[in-house]
Amino acid sequence: MLEQTIHLLADDASLSGIHAAAQIWKYQEEWISWDRQENLLFLNYEGSRDYYLADGTVMHVQPGDLLLMPTGCSYRTYSASPEGSKGYSVLFNARNRAGEEICLDTHPRLAGRDHNGFYEEKMRQLVEWYLQGGFSTLRAKSLLYEILYAISTDLSLIQDNPKKRSLIQAVRYMENNLQKTCSIEQLAEICFMSRSTFHRLFQQEFGDSPLNYHMTMRIKKSQELLQSGLYTVEKVAEIMGFCDTGYFSRMFHKITGQYAGKCRPALRRPPTSDEP
């Protein structure tokens, strides 16, 4: 699942080596990439393209398709439209806390479909800010984080799955309401379904009940807050809308396998007057 690879970026990942460009190709103009050294996000917004991958498969890319081409992949690509094709590309490297390269995937894939123009607008802005240089480069970098977040949360590829498409509003509501509980009735109403139908479809498509799915989201966010070292267990429970710290701790251990109190990093004691 693509969202699982993008979630690797949520663990204090750093993005570097960012380069962005607007690109125009003539009909059948070829581009070859062997053993790519950076990750590439490419939005094809006009015309069509064909990608011939190293394993022999072919990707037919249409307007609005957003591609993720990870490091290490090889391919040939042509503009397949007589009028040519246009797109926005962003190169970047991703590294974890230890400075090690994060492998987002093992082969090129479709990362999203731009049904409402969101990705085209964001990619256009990113290219403009990158080309301005200076402090605008920071704005371009922040926008790349925003695009990657959108890939993992908007789940635009669900548009191809009628069942998941009918549930996406509930998933988005859960994402935006991590600090409070949700009821099955409330989520079902958002999706214009009966309680039983919503629960059954959600279980089938996501492999978990809606309430368990939302609780897991809340606990993972709580884990991030605890790992920052800025909050106590009691404060995180309060922030995340748990009225009972004991209940929060039990759910935390059940979902993460860790004890909430041990999740916080050890704080270094301040030096005494005898220490340098």
* 200: its two tokens: 């059954």
**Considering the chain, what is the average pLDDT of its residues?**
85
DSSP string of the chain, one letter each residue: -HHHHHGGGGTT-EEEEEEEEEEEE-TT-EEEESS-SSEEEEEEEES-EEEEETTS-EEEE-TTEEEEE-TT--EEEEE-STT-EEEEEEEEEEE-TTSPBP---SS-EEEEE-SSSHHHHHHHHHHHHHHH-TTHHHHHHHHHHHHHHHHHHH-GGGGG-HHHHTTHHHHHHHHT-TTS---HHHHHHHTT--HHHHHHHHHHHHSS-HHHHHHHHHHHHHHHHHHTTSS-HHHHHHHTT-S-HHHHHHHHHHHHSS-HHHHSPPPPPPP-TT--
**The pLDDT of residue 55:** 86
Amino acid in the structure at residue 145: Y
pLDDT in tens, 204-239: 888 899 999 999 989 988 988 898 888 899 999 999
**The pLDDT of residue 146:** 87
pLDDT in tens, 131-158: 998 889 999 999 998 888 888 766 555 5
pLDDT in tens, 14-50: 888 899 999 999 998 989 999 888 999 999 999 999 9
